[in-house]
Structure formats: structure tokens, C-alpha cells
């Protein structure tokens, strides 16, 4: 019986050389390293896809803005020219109105003078 116990102890010493805790610790470290590498690879891939998508959207937005400008530019130029013409017309009309008012004032003064002359002649 003592010999069996001694044999088991010897077997146990050999078994401790292959400690399961060290084995699983090594396996766990290896698994964590693999997961981390896989995560980094997936993260880099997603980052690249996101950057590509972002560049595509920015390019599309720039093209849309440029095409709108190309379409709106002739209209905008025509509108500016029309506004310029209308402003010139308003300015000219104001000058004409001012000249007409001045002429009207002169004519009213002349009418008043003539009426005074007529009244003087009637006396």
C-alpha cells in the first residue's frame, strides 16, 4: 500500500511538469492574441471601407454642387443683368420724374404770372 502511494506521488510529480494551468494560460494568451489580430484586421478593413465611402460621398457632393452651379450660373447671370437693367430704368425714371416736377413747377409759376398779368390787364 505504501508503495502505491509512492508511485502515485511520483506520477503526480511527473503530472505537475505538465501543469494544466500553465497549458491553459498559454492557450488563453494565444487565443487572445489571435482575437486581437483578427479584431485589428477587421477594424482596419472597416476603417478603409468607411474612408472609401466618405471619399465617394464627398466627391458626389462636390460634383452635385458643381453641376448645380453650371445649371444655375446662366440663370443667375441673366437675373443679375435683368436687375441691373431694372435699376438703371428706376434711376432714369427718377431723373425724368425730377425733371418733370421741375418743369411742372416752372409752368405753374408761368401760369401764375400770366394769370396775374391777365388780372392786371382786366383792371
Residue spans of alpha helices (H) in the chain:
2-17, 20-122
Cα angle at 93 between 87 and 96, to 5 degrees?
145
Q: Cell numbers 485589428 correspond to what residue?
A: 40
Number of domains in the chain: 1
Model pLDDT, residue 11: 63
pLDDT average, residue stretch 43-57: 94
Whether 64 has a pLDDT exceeding 70, the answer reads yes
Model pLDDT, residue 123: 75
| pLDDT (tens digit per residue) in 77-97 | 788 899 999 999 999 999 999
pLDDT level of residue 47 (50, 70, 90 thresholds)? very high
Spatial distance between the Cα atoms of 94 and 85, rounded to a whole number of angstroms: 14
74 vs 111, which has greater pLDDT?
Answer: 111
Spatial distance between the Cα atoms of 93 and 102, rounded to a whole number of angstroms: 14
Domain with 13 in it? 2-122
Amino acid at each position: 500500500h505504501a508503495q502505491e502511494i509512492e508511485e502515485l506521488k511520483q506520477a503526480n510529480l511527473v503530472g505537475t511538469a505538465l501543469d494544466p494551468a500553465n497549458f491553459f494560460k498559454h492557450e488563453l494568451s494565444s487565443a487572445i492574441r489571435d482575437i486581437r489580430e483578427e479584431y485589428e484586421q477587421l477594424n482596419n478593413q472597416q476603417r478603409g471601407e468607411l474612408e472609401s465611402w466618405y471619399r465617394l460621398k464627398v466627391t458626389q457632393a462636390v460634383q452635385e454642387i458643381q453641376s448645380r452651379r453650371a445649371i444655375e450660373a446662366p440663370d443667375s447671370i441673366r437675373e443679375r443683368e435683368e436687375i441691373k437693367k431694372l435699376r438703371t430704368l428706376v434711376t432714369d425714371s427718377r431723373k425724368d420724374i425730377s425733371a418733370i416736377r421741375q418743369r411742372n413747377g416752372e409752368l405753374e409759376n408761368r401760369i401764375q404770372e400770366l394769370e396775374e398779368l391777365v388780372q392786371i390787364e382786366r383792371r
